[in-house]
């Protein structure tokens, strides 16, 4: 592996970030607009081009059916799972969706699967990183909620692939946060990470010891976050408007989005003020205003925050620890800025929680640390190692519909289990295994992970074959299955039908389709290359200035060169690669004489007998400039 | 005259002591003498070899162990075997790391907990514990078949009485009736059984001591009679079965009282 940098990415419900290790500390890579946070909003503009982040937010309000947000809530899920989401979020599903098919969402007149939408966000982050480094980025560590199941993890990996990123590792968000925290504090102890984001809640209990971050237990709720708080306030506003003004604006997507924007602003304001006003313009020319006090807000959101208590208690129970056994409680996720949430964490763990690391950035920073560890580690990280767990028990559906648990929740991963099966019918050559995830006793109440068809079993009397199936949960928390018939020693062929996922073929197609959106990537690559060349040019010019040949130029020539150098420096800051290239050309022309002078002295001293025609003067911007080559010693 | 089983247990390989001594093979990377999982010289992960959990940690087949020492060994092995540490290595090293570390985690999880450690050792000894699990209970209830279960003889009377009370309680609940007296009786039974259950860990500890003493003797080269080994082994089986049985009874009572 080369020096290619591996980045850490937080693919969040509300915001996404990319970060990397710079020396001893992780650092977030900003976007072109200088902002560290990229809103996880994707829109289709008037020209059918994809827009991501802040620019996409205006589409959310003006043309909501051309935009989508919080797509993380749909990753790895089927239509049956998202009925609640459909009631609360303006997701528009494709009309021709067949049951059991992967979800597709409408954006204008196009449809995309959730991994494709996430891929647009990842692609933007990839561009930001490439711009920052001036070099390609193809490898990343991406974070997922600890409580994400296999299908949700697989969908995240697929999104990475579609975006042109090799996902080296999926890291659980609270674990990533603990890495950033651990690197910062350098202390041993037991830590509880309370992560309340836009759409998911995770609680993880970890033991930090001499650089080892061992997760003891984890729990959470993948349908719980800041979005739910927003939706509560939106519902109240809609009711108010209906009641006071007699207008039902529920169906008006633009107004609902405007209300949502106001609600979010109010929510944020209430973290530092005791009261605020919800203020929404209702076309044509009316206004909805309502004062909310912090007290009212806290009463309203209590049931939502209450939902985090159950998972916390369960995690502590699984860890066989009491709140007082924690040395620290760490807050992660934007929603932990709400004073009432902080108070709850303080009550739950009987101590003041830590929030000195930015709760919006800490996960991305931790991902960057993990990326560093994976690439071989550095001085800062060489003693660090993450030992994470699988959050959900893995089981096989047994005859009768029960579940036989083969890998228990909170097992350190990688983890494996071997199970033995046999056939029920004479000559049976296939065995079907239904794998589920969850803690319930009946398979139908658990999450269907996949159906595995073991094929190619040598025909034998019923009950005779001994099929050993090995289940392996890898370091990403994703399941792999292999099988062997022990009597014949034959490897069984396994056909996997993921319950909510994309097949390899589908992902391949999406990667191909995504090249249509790579136009932007191409443009950016041109800009990077042009800038690199400009740098080379300018460095050579510096050497030229220090060369005695410089004094031989007329003052007019010197002035011209200086002016053009300044112009090149200025245009390099823009993203117009053609303008950069012309500026390079023009400067090149202006420094021809200088180059000849330098060449002459070099030639006369080192290349005696050759003339200008044979000296390599170069042919234009694409080939090395003579000044750059005047390094003949 | 019947032959007494005088065969030394040492011969049957049961008490083979394994301290993770290097096999006679060299590290594929630097040639140094190969350690069990990673080369002591150059640190490179080695291809996995079949090993039971005790052998994996280089531990003798004894039931008492120092949790702190096991944890230290687990952390140290993790630092060498984990896929994260081997992420930029060759593909086969990555495969080995995946297999080795899953084996390591499985081994640690099993050996760390006193009950699973005991069950595992017994399994190595060829013993399958009885079908005391909840799943088996459910299955039996559902299909109406009797499940394989042996009532500890000294509890026979108590269990008979208890089962009658539980049945009566279930009937009451179905009818929507309540019997305070019966409830109190069940609560008393629960307290009594709970105390017995809590005493199980100590009983197990005692059984461990007997087994470990035999292992020590074998290590010293002394003769260990087969019948002694079987007796120590069966003692542990009995304690575990008893413990499982009590746990199931307590669960049944909780189910009925919990409503």
Q: Cβ of A374 and B87 within 8 Å?
A: yes
Kindly state whether residues B22 and B96 are assigned to the same domain: yes
Domain assignment present for residue B127? The answer is no
Q: Is omega for the bond preceding A284 within 30 degrees of 0, making it cis?
A: yes
The four Cα atoms A396, A402, A404, A410 give a dihedral, to 10 degrees, of 90
pLDDT for A4: 77
A475 touches chain B (CB under 8 A): yes
Contact B82, B101 (CB under 8 A): yes
CA distance A472 to chain B (A): 8
Q: Does B116 touch chain A (CB under 8 A)?
A: no
In a domain, B188, yes or no: yes
Would you state the pLDDT for residue B248?
A: 87
Please give the average per-residue pLDDT across A450-464, as a whole number: 83
**Contact yes or no for A416 and B102 at CB 8 A:** yes
Strand partners, B126: none
| Domain membership flag for residue B130 | no
Q: What is the pLDDT of residues B101-115, one digit of tens each?
A: 999 999 999 999 999
Q: Do B248 and B176 have their domain in common?
A: yes
Residues B143 and B107 in one domain: no
Q: Which of A75, A74, A161 is nearest to A508 (CA)?
A: A161
Euclidean distance between the first and final Cα of chain B, in Å?
62
Gap from A73 CA to chain B (nearest CA, Å): 28
**Nearest of A263, A56, A211 to residue B84 by alpha carbon:** A211
Q: Assess whether B144 and B238 both reside in one domain.
A: yes
- For residue A619, the model assigns a pLDDT of 39
Q: Given an 8 Å threshold on Cβ–Cβ distance, is A386 in contact with B84?
A: yes
Residues B100, B145 within the same domain: no
Q: Using CB atoms, pick whichever of A374, A387, A474 lies closest to residue B78.
A: A387
| DSSP, res A455 | E
* Residues A601, A607, A611, A615, CA torsion sign: negative
Task: Say whether both B59 and B150 belong to one domain.
Answer: no
Q: Is A616 a catalytic residue?
A: no
- ipTM value for the complex: 0.79
Residue A155 has pLDDT above 60, yes or no: yes
Strand partners, A407: A394
A625 — pLDDT class (breaks 50, 70, 90): very low
Nearest CA in chain A to B79: A385
CA dihedral sign of residues A455, A458, A461, A465: negative
Same domain? B158 vs B84: no
Contacts with B, A 358-377, CB within 8 Å: 370, 373-376
Among A400, A414, A417, beta carbon nearest to B83: A414
Task: Please state the pTM of the whole predicted model.
Answer: 0.80
Answer yes or no: do B144 and B241 share one domain: yes
Higher pLDDT, A606 or A89: A89
Same domain, B194 and B82: no
On whether residue B205 sits in a domain, the answer given is: yes
Contact assignment for B88 to A387 by CB distance below 8 Å = no
Mean model confidence pLDDT for chain A:
87
DSSP-H helix ranges across chain B: 53-56, 67-81, 91-112, 114-124, 134-143, 156-175, 180-198, 200-219, 226-258
- For residue B56, tell me if it sits in a domain: yes
Q: What is the CATH number of domain A392-502?
A: 2.60.34.10
Residues B154 and B252 in one domain: yes
Same domain flag for B71 and B181: no
Q: Is the pLDDT of residue A126 over 70?
A: yes
Residue B203 inside a domain? The answer is: yes
- The answer to whether A402 contacts B138, with C-beta atoms less than 8 Å apart, is yes
Bond into A414 cis (ω within 30): yes
Q: Is the pLDDT of residue B144 over 60?
A: no
- Is position B159 within any domain? yes
Lowest-pLDDT range of A27-36, A84-93, A597-606:
A597-606
Identify the burial level of B15 via C-beta atoms within 10 angstroms of its C-beta, where 0-12 means exposed, 13-18 middle and 19 or more buried.
buried
Q: So where are chain A's domains? A: 7-224+307-387, 226-304, 392-502, 517-629
What's A517-629's CATH class?
mainly alpha
Position B143 scores a pLDDT of 56
Whichever domain contains B56, its CATH number is 1.10.287.110
Q: Is A63 on the interface with B (CB under 8 A)?
A: no
Q: Name which of A433, A448, A437, A455 is nearest A501 in CA terms.
A: A448
Q: Which residue of B has its CA nearest to A171?
A: B84
Looking at residue B148, what is its pLDDT?
53
Fold classification of A226-304 (topology level): Actin; Chain A, domain 4 (3.90.640)
Task: Give a yes or no: residue B79 inside a domain.
Answer: yes
Domain that holds residue B233: 136-258
**pLDDT of B176 higher than 90:** no
SS3 content of chain A, % helix, strand, coil (to 5): 40, 25, 35
Q: Is 3.30.420.40 the CATH classification of the domain at A7-224+307-387?
A: yes
Same domain for B143 and B249?
yes
Interior CA angle at A116 toward A112 and A121, to 5°? 120
Lowest mean pLDDT among A84-93, A520-529, A619-628, B17-26: A619-628
Give which of A609, A602, A612 is closest to A632, Cα–Cα. Answer: A602
Q: Is A325 a catalytic residue?
A: no
Q: Select which of A10, A221, A227, A361 is catalytic.
A: A10
Q: How many domains does one find in chain B?
A: 2
């Amino acid at each position: 592996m080369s020096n290619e940098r591996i980045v850490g990415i937080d693919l969040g419900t509300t915001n996404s970030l990319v970060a990397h290790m710079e020396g001893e500390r992780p650092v977030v890579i900003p976007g072109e607009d200088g902002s560290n946070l990229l809103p996880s909003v994707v829109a289709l503009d008037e020209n059918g081009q994809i827009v991501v982040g802040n620019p996409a937010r205006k589409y959310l309000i003006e043309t909501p059916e051309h935009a989508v947000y919080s797509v993380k809530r749909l990753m790895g899920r089927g239509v049956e799972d998202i009925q609640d989401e459909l009631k609360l979020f303006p997701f528009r599903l494709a009309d021709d969706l067949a049951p059991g098919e992967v979800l597709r969402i409408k954006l204008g007149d196009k449809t995309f699967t959730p991994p494709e939408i996430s891929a647009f966000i990842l692609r933007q982050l990839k561009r930001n990183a490439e711009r920052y480094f001036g070099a390609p980025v193809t490898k990343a560590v991406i974070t997922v909620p600890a409580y994400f199941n296999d299908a949700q993890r697989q969908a995240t990996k697929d999104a990475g692939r579609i975006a042109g990123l090799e996902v080296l590792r999926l890291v659980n968000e609270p674990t990533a946060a603990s890495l950033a925290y651990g690197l910062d504090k350098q202390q041993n102890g037991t830590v509880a990470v309370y992560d309340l984001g836009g759409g998911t809640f995770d609680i993880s209990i970890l033991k930090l010891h001499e650089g080892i971050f061992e997760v003891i237990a984890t729990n959470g709720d993948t349908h719980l976050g800041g979005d739910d708080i927003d939706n509560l306030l939106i519902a109240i506003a809609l009711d108010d408007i209906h009641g006071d003004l007699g207008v039902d604006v529920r169906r008006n997507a633009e107004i609902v989005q405007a209300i949502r924007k106001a609600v979010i602003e109010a929510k944020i304001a209430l973290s530092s003020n005791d009261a605020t006003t919800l203020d929404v313009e209702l076309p044509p020319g009316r206004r909805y205003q309502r004062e909310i006090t912090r007290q009212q807000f806290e009463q309203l959101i209590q049931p939502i925050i209450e939902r985090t208590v159950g998972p916390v208690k369960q995690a502590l129970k699984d860890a066989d620890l009491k709140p007082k056994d924690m040395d620290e409680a760490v807050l992660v996720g934007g929603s932990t800025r709400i004073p009432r949430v902080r108070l709850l964490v303080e009550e739950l763990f009987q101590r003041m929680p830590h929030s000195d690391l930015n709760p919006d950035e800490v996960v991305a920073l931790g991902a960057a640390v993990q990326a560093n560890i994976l690439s071989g580690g550095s001085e800062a990280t060489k003693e660090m190692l993450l030992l994470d767990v699988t959050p959900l028990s893995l089981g096989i559906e047994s005859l009768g519909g029960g579940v036989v648990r083969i890998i228990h929740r909170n097992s350190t991963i990688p983890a494996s289990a071997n199970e033995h099966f046999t056939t029920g019918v004479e000559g049976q050559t296939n065995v079907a295994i239904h794998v589920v995830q969850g803690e319930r006793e009946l398979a139908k109440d658990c999450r269907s992970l996949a159906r595995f068809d073991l094929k190619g079993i040598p025909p034998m009397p019923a009950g005779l074959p001994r099929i050993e199936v090995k289940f392996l949960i890898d370091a990403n928390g994703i399941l792999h299955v292999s099988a062997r018939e022990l009597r014949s020693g034959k490897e069984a062929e396994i056909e996997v039908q993921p319950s909510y996922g994309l097949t390899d073929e589908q992902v391949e197609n999406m990667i191909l389709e995504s090249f249509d959106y790579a136009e932007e990537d191409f443009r950016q690559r041109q800009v990077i290359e042009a800038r690199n060349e400009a740098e080379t040019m300018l460095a050579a010019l510096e050497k030229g200035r220090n060369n005695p040949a410089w004094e031989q130029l007329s003052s007019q020539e010197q002035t011209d060169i200086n002016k053009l150098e300044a112009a090149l420096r200025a245009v390099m800051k823009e993203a117009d690669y053609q303008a950069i290239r012309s500026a390079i050309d023009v400067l090149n022309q202006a420094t021809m004489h200088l180059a000849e002078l330098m060449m002459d002295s070099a030639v006369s001293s080192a290349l005696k007998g050759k003339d200008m025609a044979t000296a390599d003067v170069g042919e234009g911007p694409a080939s090395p400039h003579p000044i750059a080559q005047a390094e003949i010693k | 005259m019947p032959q007494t089983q005088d065969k030394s247990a040492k011969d049957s390989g049961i008490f083979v002591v394994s301290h993770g001594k290097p096999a006679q093979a060299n590290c594929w990377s630097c040639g140094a003498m190969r350690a069990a999982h990673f080369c002591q010289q150059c640190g490179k992960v080695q291809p996995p070899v079949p090993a039971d959990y005790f052998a994996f940690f280089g531990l003798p087949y004894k039931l008492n162990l120092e949790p702190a020492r096991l944890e230290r060994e687990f952390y140290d092995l993790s630092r060498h075997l984990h896929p994260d540490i081997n992420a930029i290595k060759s593909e086969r090293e990555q495969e080995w790391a995946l297999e080795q570390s899953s084996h390591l985690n499985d081994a640690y999880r099993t050996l760390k907990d006193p009950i699973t450690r005991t069950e595992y050792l017994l399994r190595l000894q060829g013993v399958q514990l009885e079908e005391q699990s909840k799943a088996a209970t459910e299955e039996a209830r559902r299909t109406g078949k009797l499940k394989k279960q042996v009532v500890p003889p000294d509890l026979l009377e108590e269990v008979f009485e208890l089962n009658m009370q539980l049945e009566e309680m279930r009937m009451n609940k179905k009818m929507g009736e309540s019997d305070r007296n019966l409830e109190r009786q069940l609560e008393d039974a629960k307290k009594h059984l709970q105390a017995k259950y809590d005493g199980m860990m100590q009983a197990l500890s005692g059984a461990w001591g007997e087994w470990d003493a035999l292992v020590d003797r074998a290590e010293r080269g002394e003769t260990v009679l087969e019948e002694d080994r079987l007796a120590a082994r069966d003692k542990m089986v009995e304690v575990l079965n008893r413990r499982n049985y009590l746990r199931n009874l307590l669960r049944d009572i909780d189910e009925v009282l919990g409503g």
